């Protein structure tokens, strides 16, 4: 029982933010409601603000919030809301063999734009930030409902960036994973990503390498042109108001066009020389993506392309230098605070990449060691990403005076020796090492070279280094998005930079392509080494640790 009133009947769904239950109301003659339980809430005011925001909304496409319970002693809180009888758009799409008539796609998009117009035109505009087919419900009459406001936020024009970058990679706008603020145009991009997904038979736009006119050749040009504008990387080039999108959809509403399945498949079979290696094993609902690919060299097919799954998750080991100089300022923030936030965002990305609908599959296993002159196992062993998501923020990292890098890598080496025999069929493990430079103790390089010689079937263990220092490269990076990465010819200010490069693996093509899709221009052959001279480069390094190919 919740609040001596709501009797839990069954678990409906479980996801990254908590659980959803079907309940009956003892006060209202067993009326059926849905209760959303959110776990480990550490910000009462934030929750209460969200609850008040939701209870104030009134729109046919938004389930009504009727009650809420503030965080209890365990940090759990509850929203009571209207029960919607129906299925998600994701399930409806899959049940239709990933082929929907254009009229249906436009109808769903029009309904979505209508509810977004309501949200965006509140006195304080509400940005949903996590639009995707699994967050759209179709009721028994085929009407669209917007569910799961878990990361929705009020737009504050005075803020320069979001507190935390969040979103589902497949449908999120580029600014959601950068140090910028989201606004209503973020949702406009997501509308385009959903339309592309539905129109292309289940492909994700962020993986696309072909012109839209080729992928969607059988669709009207007006529809394709609308998609191009919706999916602009630069928010200033998109539609600036959701009502503009509604107007275009109304013009398309009368179309009776429906692409024959054979023509769609023929279009998707067009070969492209730019298809990333990270897609080599990605299976489509109707045709294997491998049929689109040009032949690759055997090494690029076999090395570091194994996809992480629930049965064969990726192992990521973080080694975090917490020596005294990590208290120094990097701009207006301490180095250690920047590192903690960047790591937290990377873990959140892993949660989103492991989530389908409201269900999470543990595609990552994580170990975190904080080291100075000693080594602390932050999480007490290797934890799966679904375990970590319930812990909230990372434990506070405390700085010490000295730093023994070799000792940290020795811990990683021992962990790998115990793990490698049973993860041979999974992705190659990755060690993400963050350091601020000078070390005491023995030379870490021989230990790292031993680690880099360890391997699974997917390839050798990968080692990445994020070098937090004001003086790393002879030519500093002023435009991270255009930077091509540390390469063989890169000049460093001191010998330690050269040593770190020798201790860094070359970026696998699958990882590199993932970063290119996030608009980073890392060159072929660049190293897994990132000079942390500014917060964006630190964030890039930690994002790279989350770029393991996934199924």
Per-residue pLDDT, 12:
85
Residue 162 scores a pLDDT above 60: no
Give 408-437 pLDDT, tens digit per residue.
999 999 999 999 999 999 999 999 999 987
- In angstroms, the CA 342 to CA 360 distance is 22
Which of residues 299 and 529 earns the better pLDDT score?
A: 529
Per-residue pLDDT, 444:
93
Which of residues 327 and 211 earns the better pLDDT score?
A: 211
- What pLDDT band is residue 332 in, cutting at 50, 70 and 90? confident
- In angstroms, the CA 263 to CA 218 distance is 7
CATH code of the region 314-545: 3.40.50.410
Residue 114 scores a pLDDT above 90: yes
- What pLDDT band is residue 264 in, cutting at 50, 70 and 90? very low
Per-residue pLDDT, 257:
43
- What pLDDT band is residue 397 in, cutting at 50, 70 and 90? low
- What residues contact 93, with CB distance under 8 A and at least 6 apart? 100, 133, 198, 202
Per-residue pLDDT, 280:
28
Residue 228 in 3-state DSSP? helix
* Rounded average pLDDT over 277-293: 28
Read out DSSP for 350-411? Answer: HHHHTEETTEE---EEEEEEEESSSEEESSSS-EEHHHHTTS-SPPPP--BS---HHHHHHH
Residue 274 scores a pLDDT above 70: no
Per-residue pLDDT, 440:
75
Burial annotation 198-225 (CB, 10 A radius, 16+ → b, else e): bbbbbbbbbbbebebeebbbebeeebbe
Give 340-372 pLDDT, tens digit per residue.
888 888 887 888 777 765 567 789 999 999 998
What is the average pLDDT value for the chain, to the nearest integer?
80
Which of residues 536 and 283 earns the better pLDDT score?
A: 536
Per-residue pLDDT, 362:
83
C-beta separation of 375 from 408 below 8 A: yes
Tell me, yes or no, if the two domains 6-82 and 86-295 fold the same way: no
* Rounded average pLDDT over 476-503: 89
- In angstroms, the CA 85 to CA 90 distance is 15
Per-residue pLDDT, 276:
33
Radius of gyration (Cα) for the chain, nearest Å?
A: 24
Residue 198 scores a pLDDT above 90: yes
From the list 136, 42, 123, 34, the residue with the least C-alpha distance to 83 is 34
Which of residues 41 and 215 earns the better pLDDT score?
A: 215
45, 405, 441, 496 from 499: Cα distances, Å: 48, 13, 16, 5
Architecture of domain 6-82: 2-Layer Sandwich (3.30)
Residue 102 scores a pLDDT above 50: yes
Give 433-456 pLDDT, tens digit per residue.
999 877 777 899 999 999 999 999
- What pLDDT band is residue 166 in, cutting at 50, 70 and 90? very low
Main-chain phi, psi angles of 460, to 5 degrees:
-70, 155
CATH class of 86-295: mainly alpha
- In angstroms, the CA 121 to CA 132 distance is 21
Which of residues 198 and 391 earns the better pLDDT score?
A: 198
- In angstroms, the CA 276 to CA 259 distance is 27
- What pLDDT band is residue 223 in, cutting at 50, 70 and 90? very high
C-beta separation of 62 from 47 below 8 A: no
Residue 148 scores a pLDDT above 80: no
Give 40-63 pLDDT, tens digit per residue.
555 566 667 667 777 788 888 888
Per-residue pLDDT, 174:
83
CB burial of residue 277 (10 Å; 0-12, 13-18, 19+): buried
pLDDT more than 70, % of the chain: 80
* Rounded average pLDDT over 449-474: 90
Residue 301 scores a pLDDT above 80: no
- What pLDDT band is residue 74 in, cutting at 50, 70 and 90? confident
- Using alpha carbons only, what angle is made at residue 166 by residues 327 and 62, rounded to the nearest 5 degrees? 145
* Rounded average pLDDT over 330-336: 79
- In angstroms, the CA 493 to CA 504 distance is 17
- This prediction has a pTM of 0.50
Residue 95 scores a pLDDT above 50: yes
* Rounded average pLDDT over 232-244: 94
Domains of the chain, by residue range, sit at 6-82, 86-295, 314-545
Per-residue pLDDT, 43:
57
Lowest-pLDDT range of 12-16, 177-181, 238-242, 273-277? 273-277
**In the block, residue with structure tokens 């280094």:** 465
Per-residue pLDDT, 369:
94
Most confident by average pLDDT, 69-78, 318-327, 486-495, 522-531 = 522-531
Residue 475 scores a pLDDT above 50: yes
- What pLDDT band is residue 96 in, cutting at 50, 70 and 90? very high
Which of residues 135 and 53 earns the better pLDDT score?
A: 135
Residue 40 in 3-state DSSP? coil
C-beta separation of 535 from 333 below 8 A: yes
Inter-axis angle of helices 445-453 and 405-419, nearest 10: 20
- What residues contact 437, with CB distance under 8 A and at least 6 apart? 325, 467, 468, 469, 496
Lowest-pLDDT range of 4-18, 305-319, 420-434? 4-18
Which of residues 316 and 394 earns the better pLDDT score?
A: 316
Residue 260 scores a pLDDT above 90: no
């Amino acid at each position: 029982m919740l609040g001596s009133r709501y009797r839990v009947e069954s678990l409906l769904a479980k996801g990254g933010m908590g659980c959803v239950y079907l309940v009956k109301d003892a006060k209202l003659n067993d009326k059926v409601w849905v209760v959303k339980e959110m776990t480990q809430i550490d910000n009462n005011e934030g929750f209460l603000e969200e609850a008040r925001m939701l209870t104030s909304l009134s729109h046919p496409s938004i389930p009504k919030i009727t009650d809420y319970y503030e965080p209890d002693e365990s940090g759990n809180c509850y929203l009571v809301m209207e029960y919607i009888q129906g299925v998600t758009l994701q399930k409806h799409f899959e049940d239709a063999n990933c082929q929907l008539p254009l009229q249906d796609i436009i109808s769903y998009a029009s309904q979505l734009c209508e509810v977004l117009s309501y949200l965006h035109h509140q006195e304080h505009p509400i940005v949903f930030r996590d639009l995707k087919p699994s967050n759209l419900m179709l009721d028994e009459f085929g009407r669209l409902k917007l569910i799961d406001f878990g990361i929705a936020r009020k737009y504050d024009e005075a803020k320069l960036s979001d507190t935390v970058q969040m979103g589902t990679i497949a449908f999120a706008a580029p600014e959601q994973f950068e140090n910028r603020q989201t606004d209503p145009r973020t949702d406009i991009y997501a509308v385009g990503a959903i339309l592309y997904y539905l129109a292309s038979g289940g492909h994700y736009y962020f993986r696309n390498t072909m012109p839209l006119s080729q992928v969607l050749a059988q669709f009207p040009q007006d529809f394709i042109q609308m998609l191009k504008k919706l999916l602009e990387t630069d928010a200033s080039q998109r539609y600036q108001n959701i009502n503009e999108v509604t107007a275009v959809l109304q013009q398309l509403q009368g179309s009776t066009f429906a692409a024959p399945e054979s023509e769609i498949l023929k279009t998707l079979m067009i070969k492209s020389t730019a298809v990333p290696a990270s897609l080599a094993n990605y299976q489509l609902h109707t045709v294997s993506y491998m049929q689109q690919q040009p032949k690759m060299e055997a090494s690029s097919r076999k090395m570091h392309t194994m996809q992480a799954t629930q049965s064969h998750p990726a192992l990521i080991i973080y080694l975090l230098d917490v020596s005294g100089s990590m208290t120094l300022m990097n701009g207006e923030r301490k180095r250690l605070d920047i590192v903690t936030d960047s790591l937290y965002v990377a873990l959140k990305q892993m949660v989103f990449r492991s989530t389908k609908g409201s269900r999470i599959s543990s595609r990552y296993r994580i170990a975190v060691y904080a080291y100075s002159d000693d080594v602390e196992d932050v999480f007490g062993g290797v934890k799966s990403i679904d375990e970590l998501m319930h812990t909230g923020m990372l434990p506070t990292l405390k700085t010490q005076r000295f730093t023994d890098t070799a000792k940290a890598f020795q811990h990683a080496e021992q962990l790998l020796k115990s793990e490698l025999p049973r993860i041979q069929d999974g992705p190659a493990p990755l060690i993400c090492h963050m350091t601020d430079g000078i070390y005491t103790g023995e030379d870490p390089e021989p230990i790292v070279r031993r680690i880099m010689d360890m391997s699974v079937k997917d390839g050798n263990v990968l080692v990445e280094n994020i070098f937090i220092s004001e003086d790393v490269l002879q030519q500093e990076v002023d435009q991270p998005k255009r930077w091509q990465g540390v390469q063989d010819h890169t000049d460093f200010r001191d010998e330690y930079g050269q040593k770190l490069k020798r201790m860094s693996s070359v970026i696998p093509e699958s990882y590199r392509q993932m970063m290119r899709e996030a608009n980073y221009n890392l060159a072929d052959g660049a190293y897994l080494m990132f000079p942390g001279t500014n917060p964006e480069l630190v964030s890039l390094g930690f994002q790279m640790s989350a770029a393991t190919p996934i199924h």
